[in-house]
Amino acid sequence: MDRAAVFDVDGTLVDTNHLHVVTWWEAFRQAGHDVPMHAVHRAVGLGSTDLIAHLLGDGRDEDQDAGLSAAHKALYGQYFDRLPALPKAGELLRRLHGDGRRVVLATSASGAELGALRRAIDADEAIAGTASADDVARGKPAPEPVERALELAGVDASRAVFVGDTVWDMRAGAKAGVRCVGLLCGGIPRADLEEAGAEAVYDDPADLLARLAGSPLA
């Protein structure tokens, strides 16, 4: 296996973006912050600290960051036993593995959350490794998560494709020098994904699987 397929998870393989929107919104509300849900949606995909900074700004009380992250984690954790995989997500990973690609996940999730996501995908036999929040100093849109995934896959950037659903994913992949594929199932418009670096855009994992032969993953 000298080729790699690197995947974001939230919003790309598992239908969780709007759960993150609601639970982050509630965490902010509990702390006295009025943050519109549409703004939270656009920030999903960033690591917790970066998401808080993006939404509240540099002038915020940074002592609140840990409490906000903990509140979101607790609220989101209520859904761990019923996170829904997106259509054909596991089948797509198994197909790529069978076709000779090393499949690696690059996600800001870790610990119990990552375990819940992997259970939802139900394709552990096809996943060669995971670059999680615990493995990098900086999350997306920094290239480190994708670069770490390439290290785990044992391939260079020219032999890899990164699939994600947010502009943060596309920017991270572009900075890492890999070809990027965007999915619309996370709720981000096609034009935004393309502007951020997506070479091709598909509706969801099922659409990518159906059109795999003509995709950058072929």
The residue-averaged pLDDT of 123-151 equals: 95
The residue-averaged pLDDT of 166-190 equals: 98
As a whole-number percent, the residues of the chain with pLDDT over 70 amount to 100
The residue-averaged pLDDT of 128-156 equals: 95
Q: Residue 203 gets which letter from DSSP? A: S
Give the relative orientation of helices 17-30 and 65-77 as an angle to the nearest 10 degrees. 130
- Spatial CA neighbour of 151 closest among 101, 98, 218, 104: 104
Q: What is the pLDDT of residue 1?
A: 63
Give the C-alpha separation, 86 to 42, whole Å. 20
Q: What is the pLDDT of residue 203?
A: 98
Token couple for 210: 């159906």
As a whole-number percent, the residues of the chain with pLDDT over 90 amount to 96
pLDDT band at 54 (very low <50, low <70, confident <90, very high): very high
- Burial bucket for residue 105 (CB in 10 Å: 0-12, 13-18, 19+): buried
The residue-averaged pLDDT of 77-95 equals: 98
Q: What is the pLDDT of residue 133?
A: 86
- Spatial CA neighbour of 181 closest among 6, 2, 22, 1: 6
Strand, helix or coil at 159? helix
pLDDT band at 27 (very low <50, low <70, confident <90, very high): very high
Q: Cβ contacts of residue 100 below 8 Å, gap of 6+? A: 1, 3
Cα 204 to chain centroid, rounded: 13
Evaluate whether 35 touches 44 at the Cβ level (below 8 Å): no
Strand, helix or coil at 180? strand
Predicted confidence (pLDDT) at residue 170 exceeds the cutoff of 80 = yes
